[in-house]
Amino acid sequence: MSSADASFAAATDDRELVRAARDGDRAAYGRLYERYAPMVHGVLLSRIAPEHVDDLLQDVFLKAMTQLRSLRDDDHFGGWIVAIARNRAADHYRRTREDATPQEQLEAVPSAERSSASAEAAVVLAALQSLPEAYRETLTLRLVEGMTGPEIAALTGLTHDSVRVNLHRGMKQLRERLGQGEPAKESHD
């Protein structure tokens, strides 16, 4: 079991934290925040420019705090907060009309400039953001936030099979968009 898995296993049940937070217990809500902030960060980063992510992350959790009463199933805080994050990101996109689409951003970086690490990271992020929704989110959690497939499944509520498919197909499409193609050999589980 990884240390991350251990921390998940040791963590107080979401349901209890949600109930306590709904009763005004800030410490309980703080625990939920600590647990889910990396996931929400990844979900936002898969949709909007990095410089806006931290601000929206705060916005998502503060908004959710005021609306805990509307959470219908206390066991599903993860899926609920992700839905809020997606809405916030879509709202941000609609209002700001970020200057270029991910594909345009990807194409705008000249090949010669793709060599520096930061420019290369920007290219990879643009490629990630141009993937279909399910793939870009899961793959961002894996490659950027450093979560494993089982951790992603536990936090998002997706099944292991769904996460597995998203990672596999997403990685394949990411390689294509980055012009790397498929690796010569791939092992299977």
Partner 1 sequence: MTEAIHPYLWDKSGAVDADVERLESLMSGLRYHPQPLAWERGIAQPKSRRFRVWRWTAVVAAAAMVLVAAALSIQSRFTWRPGEPWRVSALAGNPSIDKQAFSGAARLPIGQVLETDSQSRARLHVASLGIIDVEPGTRLRLVATTAKRHGLALDYGTISAHMWAPPFSLSIETESAAVFDLGCAFTLHAERGGYGTVHVTSGWIEFESADRRVLVPQGAEAVTRAGIGPGTPYFSDATPEFKLAIAQFDSHPDDAGARAAAVDRILSTARMRDAFTLLNLFHEVTPDARPQVLDRMAALVPIPSGFTRDDLLAMRQPALAAYWGAVHAALHLDNPKSWIMRWKDVLGD
Q: What is the contact mask toward partner 1 in residues 117 to 136, using x (rule: CB under 8 A)?
A: xx-xx--xx----x-xx---
Smallest distance from partner 1 to CB 81, Å: 9
CA distance 18 to 77: 8
Residues 139 to 168 in contact with partner 1, rule: CB under 8 A: 142-146, 148-150, 161, 164-165, 167-168
Identity of residue 188: H
Binding status of residue 70 toward partner 1 by CB under 8 A: yes
Q: Report the Cα–Cα distance between both ends of the chain, in Å, rounded.
A: 18
Question: Rule CB under 8 A: is residue 107 a binding residue for partner 1?
Answer: no
Q: Is 3 in the site for partner 1 (CB under 8 A)?
A: no
Angle between helical axes of 160-177 and 133-143 (0-180°, round to 10): 90
The size of the interface with partner 1 (CB under 8 A), counted in residues, is 74
- CB nearer to partner 1: give 13 or 41: 41
Cβ-based burial of 85 (10 A; exposed 0-12, middle 13-18, buried ≥19):
buried
State which residue, 11 or 50, has the beta carbon closest to partner 1.
50
Q: Which of 80, 105, 126, 154 binds partner 1 (CB under 8 A)?
A: 80
Beta-carbon count within 10 A of 139 CB:
24
Pairwise CA distance, residues 145 & 41, whole Å: 8
